[in-house]
Amino acid sequence: MWQDLGPVGRAASSGGYFRQPFDSAERECHAWFLQECAARGLEVEADGNGNTVGWWRAPGVAEQPGNAVLTGSHLDSVLDGGAYDGPLGVVSSFAAIDVLRDRGFVPSRPIGVGAFVEEEGSRFGLACLGSRLMTGATTPEQAQELRDRNGVPLLDAMAAAGLEPSLGSSALLNGVGVFVELHVEQGRDLVDRGAAIGVASEIWPHGRFRFDFTGEANHAGTTRMEDRHDPMLTYAMTALAANKQARLSGERATFGRIEAVPNGTNAVPSRVTAWLDARCATDASLERMLAEIEGLGQERAGRDGTSLSVTAESVSRAVGFDADLARRLAVDHTGGDWPIIATQAGHDAGVLSAAGIPTAMLFVRNPTGISHSPAESAEIADCLVGVEALADTLERLAE
């Protein structure tokens, strides 16, 4: 399975992945998903948001409400992303079902493998769009306002990919009693602990905020420095202030995306738009950090004679996973209990947990801890341990 997915959407230059939702590479991943479901006789169900689940219902499995076990992850990637973030969870879910069948295990509950769409928000800007629509955390009205960087509306992108979107409506979670997502670790906690598998305790609150710096376009040569209203300067000082705030509080602030208008070489820009990704230990500290950074930006704008407006584009509140479930899944394994660790990375599991579905995450060790980069990695041995761990977990949940 890993080799089949490997070439899909991979850039020859960087080795990174471009699997943005509803584009050809991501749709090829989706077709692969459907093939793997068919190969295992899983019954495929899709919703109007682009999410899909393949169900394993052993013969005679009673369909009591709230007793289904859902696993899976996402197939879309960030721009120039790694191979594992998302797909490792989906491939491992199919492999775990194969392991359970090899063991002769017959689940007394339905087991589903899910593929959630646009988890990264890398095309339409809202993280976990598919699972947010599925749980109602985002309304269809909000979602249909979303556009990609070329101005293509979400519904047009879905239709262009051959889908018949019906945003918001989803029966995929009906009857789901528990969700468990396996994911490559995006950090070095497991490396430092010498553990191959970890269980998530919480997801830090985090958000994406668009900073619009407006100045005055002018000639790069004839305009004296003291006569300028240069938004690039206000942006630069705000980025440095954000970095300092995060270092002081031991939290996270990143400006990774920027657009300058008109982006000319010999002109002071009229406008600079930059996106801040901020992640903090609590909701309150996230709000505080944003206020600090915006305040420092406004102060600098005052000195530069520019203006700044900040718009929250995607906010994910703190997620505390079900502690009893985490402990139940983490203990009593050959080789010892799995560590229960926090993460600063958002996941569909966070959205389902916030919607009240008992949810757990399994992390697989990433030797470098690097993610959202072509350098993201995981050892095949650890990935295979992850498959066994997911199979054990599904067995505990579905027996």
CB 72 within 8 A of CB 33: no
Q: Tell me the closest approach of the beta carbon of residue 76 to Mn ion, in angstroms.
A: 9
Among 61, 69, 95, 127, binds ligand HGY (CB under 6 A): 127
Q: Based on the shown chain and the rule CB under 6 A, indicate whether residue 202 belongs to the binding site for ligand HGY.
A: no
Tell me whether residue 156 or residue 313 sits nearer to ligand HGY (CB atom). Answer: 313
* Share of the chain residues as helix, strand and coil, in percent rounded to the nearest 5: 35, 25, 40
Which range touches Mn ion (CB under 5 A), out of 83-91, 283-291, 333-341, 374-382? Answer: 83-91
Q: Which of 117, 4, 208, 113 is nearest to 398 (CA)?
A: 113
Closest CB to Mn ion among 86 and 207? 86
The Cα–Cα gap between 233 and 225 comes to 11
Interacting residue with ligand HGY among 5, 233, 345, 394 (CB under 6 A): 345
| 358 is a contact residue toward ligand HGY (CB under 6 A) | no
Shortest spacing between CB 376 and ligand HGY, in angstroms:
11
Q: Residue 29 interacts with ligand HGY (CB under 6 A)?
A: no
User: Is 88 in contact with 183 (CB distance < 8 Å)?
Assistant: yes
Of 23-31, 36-44, 119-127, 354-362, which part binds ligand HGY (CB under 6 A)? 119-127
85 binds Mn ion (CB under 5 A): yes
Backbone angles phi, psi at 323, to 5 degrees: -65, -40
Q: How far is the CB of 304 from ligand HGY (least distance, A)?
A: 31
Minimum distance from CB of 267 to ligand HGY (Å)?
Answer: 34
**Are 251 and 280 in contact, with CB atoms under 8 Å apart?**
yes
CA nearest neighbour of 185 among 198, 169, 173, 172: 198
Q: Which of 16, 346, 350, 386 binds ligand HGY (CB under 6 A)?
A: 346
346 binds, among ligand HGY, Mn ion, none (CB under 5 to 8 A by kind): ligand HGY
Residue 86 binds to Mn ion (criterion: CB under 5 A): yes
54 binds ligand HGY (CB under 6 A): no
Instruction: Return the residue matching tokens 């009693």.
Output: 177
Q: Is 181 in the site for Mn ion (CB under 5 A)?
A: no
Cβ at position 390, least distance to Mn ion in Å = 15
| 87 contributes a contact to ligand HGY by CB under 6 A | no
120 forms part of the interface with ligand HGY (CB under 6 A)? yes
Contact between 348 and Mn ion per CB under 5 A = no
Cα–Cα distances in angstroms (integers) from residue 287 to residues 162, 246, 296, 312, 368, in the given order: 40, 13, 14, 11, 31
Would you count residue 130 as binding Mn ion (CB under 5 A)? Answer: no
What does 89 interact with, of Mn ion, ligand HGY, none (CB < 5 to 8 A by kind)? Answer: none
* Chosen from Mn ion, ligand HGY, none, partner binding at 86 (C-beta under 5 to 8 Å by type): Mn ion
Residue placing its CB nearer to Mn ion in the complex, 89 or 165 = 89
Instruction: Report yes or no: 22 and 80 within 8 Å, Cβ to Cβ.
Output: no
Counting residues that bind Mn ion (by CB under 5 A) gives 2
Token digits for 253? 């602030």
Span interacting with Mn ion, options 79-87, 166-174, 299-307, 316-324, rule CB under 5 A: 79-87
Cα distance between the two ends of the chain:
27
Helix 87-102 to helix 380-398 angle (10° resolution) is: 60
| Beta strands per DSSP E along the chain | 43-46, 52-56, 68-74, 111-116, 176-184, 197-203, 206-214, 218-219, 252-261, 267-268, 271-279, 307-316, 319-320, 340-343, 359-364
User: Coil, helix or strand for 259?
Assistant: strand
Mapping DSSP onto H, E and C, the string for 104-134 reads CCCCCCCEEEEEECCCCCCCCCCCCHHHHHH
Residues that bind Mn ion (CB under 5 A): 85-86
Residues that bind ligand HGY (CB under 6 A): 119-120, 127, 345-346
